[in-house]
Structure 1
Amino acid sequence: MKIIVPMAGRGSRLRPHTLTVPKPLVPVAGKPIVHRLVADIAAVLNQKIDEIAFILGDPAFFGADVVESLKELAKSLGAKPSIYRQLDPKGTGHAIMCAAPSLKGPAVIAYADTLIRADFDLDTSADAVIWTKKVDNPSAYGVVNLNDKDEIIELVEKPETFVSDQAVIGIYYFKEVSELKNELQYVLDNDIINGGEYQINDGIKRMMANGKTFKTGTVSEWMDCGNKEVTVETNRRMLGFLAESGEKLLSEKITKDNATIIEPCFIAEDVVLINSSVGPYVSLGKGTIIENSTVKNSIIQTHSVVKNATLDNAMIGNHAHFNGKFTNVSIGDYSELK
């Protein structure tokens, strides 16, 4: 089994936090988004992962440190890492085709901008599986249309009339991913464009037209990391899940001086808490200092300093300095507010 991860986008909706760090490497509950996503997919598959292929953008942004981080992620799961580049952003289908040498055999394709919680058996008898989540407002999503055998017969984008409540979340399984590759090659060769780009859906629709069987795999939780507000909410939800599972979230190397931690929180090593209350639902990166402050429902990354603050629904980057009375803030790396 392979996992193919297109992640070449710049994450503009999450700026300023993606000005220096690609969005899939922004940490949620103490771990980069893409690390959590790939590990959760591997757990659902319950199969040996032979290769994980990452499709990155411009090397000037997705540099050597990013490549090394992703290689280590693949190796930690016993898989061979492969790195590809999408230098010209031409859509989801085009991104997948940038990894053409890896598109053979069984594979999961997963876009690295969401997190999931799932507990289902993957139907490997189907030609393909599209992972979905039941939603209350299907008109806001792309959804699947099912026949009486619970097979997917159509993909419908933001339906004005009810089709189904199963929204497509951007994770797909293909028993033989070369079949998708062949159809996407046709899309590219014949310049089939939707929304100004080459889309994975056009390859999938051609597979359906050729009689391939598509089923659904429904996740219990689907968490977005598209902008600051939803990323903080995803951090809150993920901390709750991890606490329930018994995962250790607090480092043993935390310095506390008249400080209180209200769990669940993720607090990395070398964090210093002075005259402060932290939590619930707070993630603090390595080496961060919180002094004379109250922080809840927030993400603060590594080596930042927060003083004299009351923070709620805040997101602060790496090596930032914040001193003030603002509450709902979003501060990027190496920024200062004093």
Structure 2
Amino acid sequence: MKIIVPMAGRGSRLRPHTLTIPKPLIPIAGKPIVHRLVEDIAGVINQEIEEIAFIIHKDFGKQVEEDLVAIAQKLGARGTIYYQNEALGTAHAILCAKESMQGPLVVAYADTLFRADFSLDTSADSVIWVKQVEDPSAFGVVQLNENNQIVDFVEKPAQFVSDLAIIGIYYFKSGETLRSELQYLLDNDVVKGGEYQLTDALENMKQKGMKFVPGKVDEWMDCGNKNVTVETNSRLLNFLHQDGIHLVDSDVKSENSTIIPPCYIGEDVVLINATVGPNVSLGKGCHVQNSTIKNSLVQNHSNIKNANLDNAMIGNHASFDGNFSSISIGDYSVLE
């Protein structure tokens, strides 16, 4: 089994945090989004992962490439890097990894996390991960027949046709078939809004009689902007806490401080006269003094003093000293 992860986008809705690091590498509860994503996929498919192909922009740099390869290796897989240097749509992005498209594979967009406990139907030509939502008009949805097979894809339906939203993760039994269908779109210039779309390839495959079924997830967590990313961090901390996973490093130095779970606290963190939690992630090397922090996400090596933070997101190597509460500051920022 292979996993293909298109992640060449700039993540503009999550600026300033994505000015210095690609969005999929922003840590959630102590691990990069993309790391948690591929771990969760591996858990659902319950098969050995042979390769994880990451599709990035060439400007992401050598360190990002090394980090991504290391994530694949931690799952016992080979990490491969491909480049998409023009934003030409989802179909074009996936096809950038065409050399890796053999055999069964999963395509997963790296701005979403999920919780699921379904068995992958490997007899189907494709399984599309979906989540039941209250307002389907904001999403692309799938429509099912009486045999639980997908018979239609509808983008942001104005009238109700289904409440099963497509979350952006797909299984394909044949990578070769997917590659051929995507190549057809490019060769015949099948575009919508100036871009080549995966949904057009899915529709062509369905018209040829291929079997599509849903894979229903229990939870779907977005990482699109600051507020939802902080919320996702909180939700995931609660799930991990319920699973009994220990998230506080044993080397945390605490002086007259309180940690209210669930929290992730990395190595070499120093807490002085601080209350941290609930729903807080503090990356390694952070120093927090005379502060209260809840429902917030702080990356690595940042210093926080005299703060009362709630719904805050702070980047790496930042320094914050002040009375604002719901803040979003990027790497190396200083507010004193």
- State if a TM-score over 0.5 links the two structures: yes
1:274-289 correspondence to structure 2 within 5 Å? 274-289=272-287
1:72 maps to amino acid = A
Choose which of 157, 166, 169 in structure 2 pairs with 1:168: 166
Distance 1:177 1:155 in 2: 21
1:74-223 correspondence to structure 2 within 5 Å? 74-223=72-221
Distance 2:280 2:229 in 1: 12
Distance 1:273 1:218 in 2: 41
Distance 1:196 1:250 in 2: 47
Deviations 1:97-126, CA, capped at 9 Å, x for gaps: 100111110000000000000100000111
2:28 maps to amino acid = V
Deviations 1:300-324, CA, capped at 9 Å, x for gaps: 1111111001000000000001000
Specify the alignment match of 1:301 in structure 2: 299
Gaps of 5+ in 1: none
Distance 1:159 1:337 in 2: 45
Specify the alignment match of 2:316 in structure 1: 318
Gaps of 5+ in 2: none
SS at match of 2:304: strand
User: Is 302-311 or 74-83 further displaced after alignment?
Assistant: 74-83
2:312 maps to amino acid = A
User: Is 32-41 or 77-86 further displaced after alignment?
Assistant: 77-86
1:47 maps to amino acid = Q
SS at match of 2:81: strand
Specify the alignment match of 1:23 in structure 2: 23
Displacement of 1:195 after TM fit?
2.5
SS at match of 1:292: strand
Deviations 1:272-296, CA, capped at 9 Å, x for gaps: 1011100000000011010000000
2:269 maps to amino acid = V
Distance 1:68 1:253 in 2: 27
Choose which of 328, 331, 334 in structure 1 pairs with 2:329: 331
Displacement of 1:219 after TM fit?
0.4
Distance 1:81 1:321 in 2: 35
> Is the counterpart of residue 2 in structure 1 residue 2 in structure 2?
yes
Distance 1:269 1:186 in 2: 50
Specify the alignment match of 2:242 in structure 1: 244
Specify the alignment match of 1:224 in structure 2: 222
> Is the counterpart of residue 43 in structure 1 residue 46 in structure 2?
no
Distance 1:51 1:317 in 2: 30
Displacement of 1:196 after TM fit?
2.1
Q: Structure 1-normalised TM-score? A: 0.98
Distance 2:122 2:302 in 1: 46
After the TM superposition, which segments of 4 or more aligned residues of structure 1 sit over 4 Å from their partners? none
> Is the counterpart of residue 267 in structure 1 residue 288 in structure 2?
no
Specify the alignment match of 2:67 in structure 1: 69
Distance 2:193 2:112 in 1: 22
SS at match of 1:119: coil
Give me the identity figure in percent.
63
Distance 2:61 2:72 in 1: 17
Deviations 1:150-198, CA, capped at 9 Å, x for gaps: 1111110000111111000000000002111111111111111112211
Displacement of 1:148 after TM fit?
1.6
Query: Considering only aligned residues, what root-mean-square deviation do their CA atoms show, in Å?
Result: 0.7
SS at match of 2:18: coil
Distance 1:245 1:77 in 2: 20
Specify the alignment match of 1:54 in structure 2: 54
2:30 maps to amino acid = G
